[in-house]
């Protein structure tokens, strides 16, 4: 299937590693040009070297709205506009204290909101405008990541649906992808495997397919939803969880 992404301009946050990096790589493989950001300057520099001439990385703190607005504007100028935006950031915050909640809100929720808001003027000029938010199965179920991570991820699903209704008349599609357990060595599950192997084994055993997802498996779902190939799909929340969740979506 031709996803009709050749020459399209894409913005991705959290793009230097893990799911974000896989999203960038998948867009590039489809012929798109991608501007991405991440907090770690060294990681961004490595990614710039490895991803090639059609990817442009910037070290950025997504909790700084002014910096985010500036980056989005500069990226739109460099790419000649914007067609697709994928906010993919998380503090991976766990704990009930207020500082942990603030970190989750500032990064996961407001980092997404500021990126989306800054990109809307450019997206309105595109003939294939699309936004894909990254939530989690923890936004649907009460699991070990419920507070505050799951609560904020649930808010993102609601935010995506709200945006889809608000901007449909402008031709801007908005969808959400909710991954299940996604394993990569320097990610949260790699850390759990090293530090608490019994917990890792228990969680691994809850996956009906017998394994956790690879980042590229989530990325392919994101890129499809973002692409013109999904031109009549908006307002959906796509689970990419290998059957981990048991609830029925109506």
Which among 13, 16, 90, 153 is annotated as catalytic? 153
**Catalytic-residue membership of 231:** no
Per-position b or e across 106-134, b if 16+ CB within 10 A of its CB: bbbbbbbbbbbebbbebbeebebbbbbbb
**Catalytic-residue membership of 114:** no
Q: Which of 83, 76, 75 is nearest to 8 (CA)?
A: 83
Which among 9, 130, 136, 178 is annotated as catalytic? 136
Which among 13, 75, 130, 135 is annotated as catalytic? 135
**Catalytic-residue membership of 149:** yes
Distances (CA, A) of 111 to 86, 153, 233: 11, 12, 24
The Cα–Cα gap between 26 and 170 comes to 27
**Catalytic-residue membership of 220:** no
Task: Give the dihedral sign, CA 136/139/143/148.
Answer: positive
Do residues 101 and 56 lie in contact, with contact meaning Cβ atoms separated by under 8 Å? no
| Helix segments in 5-109, DSSP class H | 18-29, 41-51, 65-79, 98-104
Do residues 85 and 131 lie in contact, with contact meaning Cβ atoms separated by under 8 Å? yes
Q: Which residues are catalytic?
A: 135-136, 149, 153
């Amino acid at each position: 299937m031709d996803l009709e992404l050749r020459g399209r301009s894409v913005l991705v946050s959290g793009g230097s590693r893990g799911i974000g990096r896989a999203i960038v790589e998948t867009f590039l493989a489809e012929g798109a040009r991608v501007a991405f950001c991440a907090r770690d300057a060294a990681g961004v520099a490595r990614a710039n070297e490895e991803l090639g001439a059609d990817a442009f990385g910037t070290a950025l703190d997504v909790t700084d709205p002014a910096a985010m607005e500036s980056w989005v504007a500069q990226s739109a100028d460099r790419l000649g506009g914007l067609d697709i935006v994928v906010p993919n950031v998380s503090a991976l915050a766990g704990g009930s204290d207020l500082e942990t909640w603030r970190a989750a809100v500032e990064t996961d929720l407001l980092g997404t909101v500021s990126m989306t808001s800054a990109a809307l003027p450019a997206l309105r000029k595109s003939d294939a405008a699309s936004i894909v938010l990254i939530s989690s199965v923890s936004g649907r179920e009460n699991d070990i990541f419920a507070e505050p991570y799951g609560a904020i991820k649930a808010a993102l699903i609601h935010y995506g649906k709200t945006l889809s209704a608000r901007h449909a008349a402008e031709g801007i599609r908005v969808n959400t992808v909710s991954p299940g357990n996604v394993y990569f060595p320097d990610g949260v599950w790699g850390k759990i495997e090293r530090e608490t192997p019994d917990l890792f084994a228990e969680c691994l055993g809850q996956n009906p397919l017998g394994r956790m997802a690879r980042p590229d498996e989530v990325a392919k779902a994101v890129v499809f939803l973002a692409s013109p190939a999904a031109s009549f799909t908006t307002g959906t929340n796509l689970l990419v969880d290998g059957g981990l969740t048991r609830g029925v979506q109506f």
